[in-house]
Chain A
């Protein structure tokens, strides 16, 4: 069991909140400071994005933060250097999230070993195909104690969701709709029906809902249906403001309500 498994196993009636942000944004050195501030503000786990030049699944806010982070000099090598300090300062589970090409260039095995060395618990690489993970990389992820997190959308078939459930070892990342990041979740009857359909499947893994969760209302709706919810663009937007560090605790309080 890694930190992610323990978090969900021990959650009780708690509504789990995860925050995504881009490493190296707004400044190159801000990565671990933000993690510490978020833990102190009561966030349950973190997704730290490593930037890529061509983030096709992301909307304007995260595109902007990725471009800025790259200009600031962020790379996987720099990120792992920064994270050497992580486990002296942060106790909650930490996942790394990003696109597959930087991981391939770093080397998948080296990447997994570096994750383990700095105390990262899981990885989300949306454009790593399921079959390739299963056939080529699953063993090296498992050897390094890493949960690989898969995405599910309203269009994902039941058969495929079952397969994802079999392969998953942390939680399942349920997208509120098929969309790029940063669109507001409008909870319609369709969304409710989709969330209910997933719940009725009684998956083995816990479920966290992400994409479009920007405020308290959406967070509550999402966690009515799932074990947790993930906020990304709304938080990254805050990081673009002056004096963002001081505003983080209030932002998290408002989210949780």
Chain B
């Protein structure tokens, strides 16, 4: 067992665990006891692989970005999660969890969403499987993300506004947890990132690990080596990075770079750079790094990218950060927006603003000419056109 993976008690070092009230214990415990047996069963594997291939469109390409490579003087490969059905890596996890929920006999699915990407990916698999779907979304996010709200509704999901607290992602997650407390028997909660009580961080990382499993094969074909020199991914809660890092964690010559959102600057008071600004604490059922006051109240983060403004990171990221296995850096709104435009102009790909944070990190690194660099292009930028247009005044 890798020292970077969850241990038998559900911890990554001293991070992780299951800090949940008794009302959630039976559901989380059921999941903990069964998730490994289910996801390792032949029946599950076959259906999961088939849906990823025929429905999601996997494997996603590993694209050698020629003009970007020329600009930075090295070999840059983009892992094209943006080409997945529904436009981001989120669907890898929702496919896995809906198959798991079916096998647990659950009839009703709940989810939280920030920008709406995970909500859309959940509503999608619920439509695919004919299961009832309820998505909690912060009241403020519902206003900001009307097209995704419409997509969810069109697919038959009920979208409920979270009116508590700051009315954004963290509060949507609170409302989903409250729903699960009040519906303890027939409901499965599809968490969208590598956060939440054990076994969620491990389970979601396993479903997302298809990203790095494919990347190894594709690198071998393209470069003759399974491993690259650098892997770069953005981190909010951290699910695309967890999947992108997963099969490289024990290859210590692969440098892993996790990019957090600095917002308007780490010291501006409007930031989401959790490893810089956070301390150890408990939110949404796990012990991790958390942006909080001295008194332990959670601080609302900020980023121009709705997918990165979460006040914590998954417990595995906290552990990788503490162990120094991955380097955690941060990128401001402005740097990300410029990187998004640059990729569009050089390669004809409009990235999600989340993914643009990972791309912006290229500017800050120096490469030897023959190095191989993989950047996880976690999502496409269609959902962000409004933001891009406003920012650049198109």
Q: Are A178 and B296 in touch, CB under 8 angstroms? A: no
Q: Is B23 an interface residue (CB 8 A)?
A: yes
Q: Measured between alpha carbons, how far is A10 from B306 in the docked complex, in Å?
A: 57
Choose from A76, A102, A127 the contact partner of B19 (Cβ within 8 Å). A127
Choose from B164, B178, B181, B295 the contact partner of A102 (Cβ within 8 Å). B295
Q: Is A129 an interface residue (CB 8 A)?
A: yes
Given the known interface contacts A100-B19, A178-B182, the answer about A54 and B283 at a Cβ–Cβ threshold of 8 Å is: yes
Q: Measured between alpha carbons, how far is A114 from B246 in the docked complex, in Å?
A: 44
Residues facing B in A82-102 (CB within 8 A) are 99-102
Which interface class (under 10, 10 to 19, 20 to 34, 35 or more) fits A? Answer: 35 or more
Q: Are A53 and B21 in touch, CB under 8 angstroms? A: no
Given the known interface contacts A104-B282, A127-B285, A175-B23, the answer about A153 and B184 at a Cβ–Cβ threshold of 8 Å is: yes
Q: How far is the CB of B273 from chain A (nearest CB, A)?
A: 19
Q: Measured between alpha carbons, how far is A152 from B22 in the docked complex, in Å?
A: 7
Given the known interface contacts A101-B282, A179-B181, A180-B181, the answer about A129 and B295 at a Cβ–Cβ threshold of 8 Å is: no
Given the known interface contacts A57-B23, A76-B295, A151-B21, the answer about A104 and B281 at a Cβ–Cβ threshold of 8 Å is: yes
Residues facing A in B298-331 (CB within 8 A) are 298
Q: Is A250 an interface residue (CB 8 A)?
A: no
How many residues of B are counted as interface, with CB atoms below 8 angstroms from the partner's CB atoms?
Answer: 35
Chain B residue at minimum C-beta to C-beta distance from A103:
B296
Residues facing A in B1-34 (CB within 8 A) are 9, 17-23, 25-26
Q: How far is the CB of A197 from chain B (nearest CB, A)?
A: 15
Q: Is A240 an interface residue (CB 8 A)?
A: no
Q: Are B26 and A155 in touch, CB under 8 angstroms? A: yes
Interface of A is mostly: loop
For A20-56 the 0/1 string (1 means CB < 8 A from B) is 0000000000000000000000000000000011111
Q: Measured between alpha carbons, how far is A60 from B177 in the docked complex, in Å?
A: 14
Q: Is A238 an interface residue (CB 8 A)?
A: no
Contacting residues, chain B, for A53 (C-beta < 8 A): 165, 297-298
Q: How far is the CB of B14 from chain A (nearest CB, A)?
A: 11
Given the known interface contacts A53-B297, A56-B181, A179-B182, the answer about A127 and B282 at a Cβ–Cβ threshold of 8 Å is: yes
Q: Are B170 and A54 in touch, CB under 8 angstroms? A: yes
Q: Is A105 an interface residue (CB 8 A)?
A: yes
Q: Is B174 an interface residue (CB 8 A)?
A: yes
Given the known interface contacts A54-B165, A105-B281, the answer about A179 and B295 at a Cβ–Cβ threshold of 8 Å is: no
Choose from A70, A151, A155 the contact partner of B297 (Cβ within 8 Å). A70
Q: How far is the CB of A110 from chain B (nearest CB, A)?
A: 13
Q: Are A105 and B18 in touch, CB under 8 angstroms? A: no
Q: Measured between alpha carbons, how far is A183 from B280 in the docked complex, in Å?
A: 33
Q: Are B23 and A151 in touch, CB under 8 angstroms? A: yes
Chain A residue at minimum C-beta to C-beta distance from B25:
A156
Q: Measured between alpha carbons, how far is A75 from B292 in the docked complex, in Å?
A: 13
Given the known interface contacts A54-B170, A56-B177, A102-B295, the answer about A67 and B165 at a Cβ–Cβ threshold of 8 Å is: yes
Which A residues are within 8 Å of any B CB, using their own CB?
52-60, 63, 67, 70, 75-77, 99-106, 126-129, 131-132, 150-153, 155-157, 160, 175, 178-180, 183
Known: A76-B295, A157-B26, A179-B182. 10 other contacts (CB 8 A): A54-B170, A56-B174, A59-B178, A101-B281, A129-B20, A151-B23, A153-B25, A155-B25, A155-B26, A180-B181
Please name the 9 residue pairs, one residue from A and one from B, whose CB atoms are nearest each other, closest first. Answer: A105-B296, A102-B296, A126-B21, A151-B22, A75-B295, A155-B26, A178-B184, A53-B297, A56-B177
